[in-house]
Amino acid sequence: MNMLIEKAKEIIASSEKVTVLTGAGISAESGVPTFRGKDGLWHNYRATDLATPEAFERDPSLVWEFYNWRRSLLSSVTPNNAHEALARFEKTRVVFTLITQNIDGLHGRAGSKNVLEIHGNIWKMRCTSCGTVIIDYRGDVGSLPRCDACGALMRPDVVWFGESLNAEVLTEAFNASRECSSMIVVGTSAVVQPAAFFPYEAKHSQAFLIEINPEATPLSGDADISLRGTATECVPLIFEQ
């Protein structure tokens, strides 16, 4: 493991363009539940009951209850040393892109400035009719929040299954995957598209691929280095220059 850490560190240090893709696993040690796996959120809730546009149409207050519960859980957690190491690393680099699937906002709270939040942000909500977005809505939104501008129902500004990602953000993420010299993938099960495709895009463009995950994923076989450790164990070690 030590040799792999050293090798990964060297690769990152000598890469001109670095792209990082994170998933729920990077926030696990902050106390945020992941989605899949035995302690995952979807173990207790069915994704199709809560994280789809159909679920919201059927029962918006149930979906809002779920998100309000997660918002309250998130308000008491703090970024961990993996989020912090990435925020510090960003300051040392001209070309660095952080793509996250997480909606928890912890990268921003750790000090990362340039974050592509491809699945949205749980602290934002959006009007289902006029599209008005409210940022950093911290208080209790209740079970059926309404738009101040037009009175229609607000929804969490996140990307549910079957919904398209923001086209501009998606293009930026694809470009950063295609153009990087190394991609580091941290704490994702690598099964949800299109995010799961980014590492392959990087690899097709000859980037060096490093995976950090205590468990094997469908990506592991294609990674040049697989670090079988947790985010807080590995990220600070390989990004601290």
Residue 111 vs 214, nearer CB to ligand BJW:
214
Q: Per-residue string for binding with Zn ion, 158-197, x by CB under 5 A?
A: ----------------------------------------
How many Cβ atoms are within 10 Å of 227's Cβ, its own excluded?
Answer: 24
CA separation for the pair 110, 34 (Å, rounded): 19
Binds 63: which of ligand BJW, Zn ion, none (CB < 5-8 Å by kind): none
- Which span (5-13, 123-131, 153-161, 172-180) binds ligand BJW, by CB under 6 A? 153-161
Helix (H) or strand (E) holding 44: helix 41-44
Residue 17 vs 153, nearer CB to ligand BJW:
153
Q: Is 95 in the site for Zn ion (CB under 5 A)?
A: no
Find the catalytic residue in 43, 83, 107, 119: 119
Q: Is 68 in the site for ligand BJW (CB under 6 A)?
A: no
Closest CA to 128 of 111, 105, 149, 153: 153
Q: Which of residues 183-212 bind ligand BJW (CB under 6 A)?
A: 187-189, 191-194, 212
The verdict on whether 119 is a catalytic residue reads yes
Residue partners of 171: CB distance under 8 A and separation at least 6: none
Closest distance of CB 23 from ligand BJW, Å: 3
Q: Is 215 in the site for ligand BJW (CB under 6 A)?
A: yes
Residue 13 vs 130, nearer CB to Zn ion:
130
How many Cβ atoms are within 10 Å of 200's Cβ, its own excluded?
Answer: 15
Q: What is the largest CA-CA distance in the chain?
A: 59
Q: Tell me the CA distances in angstroms from 222 to 102, 175, 212, one per residue in order.
A: 23, 20, 13
Residue 64 vs 198, nearer CB to Zn ion:
64
Burial class (CB in 10 A: 0-12, 13-18, 19+), 152: middle
Structural contact between residues 230 and 214, judged by C-beta atoms closer than 8 angstroms: yes
Region of residue 34 (left: phi > 0; alpha: psi -120 to 50; beta: else): beta
Q: Is 126 in the site for ligand BJW (CB under 6 A)?
A: no
Q: Is 105 in the site for ligand BJW (CB under 6 A)?
A: no
- Residues near ligand BJW (CB under 6 A) are 23-25, 28-29, 34-37, 40, 51, 101, 103, 119, 158-164, 187-189, 191-194, 212-215, 217, 230-231
Catalytic residues: 119
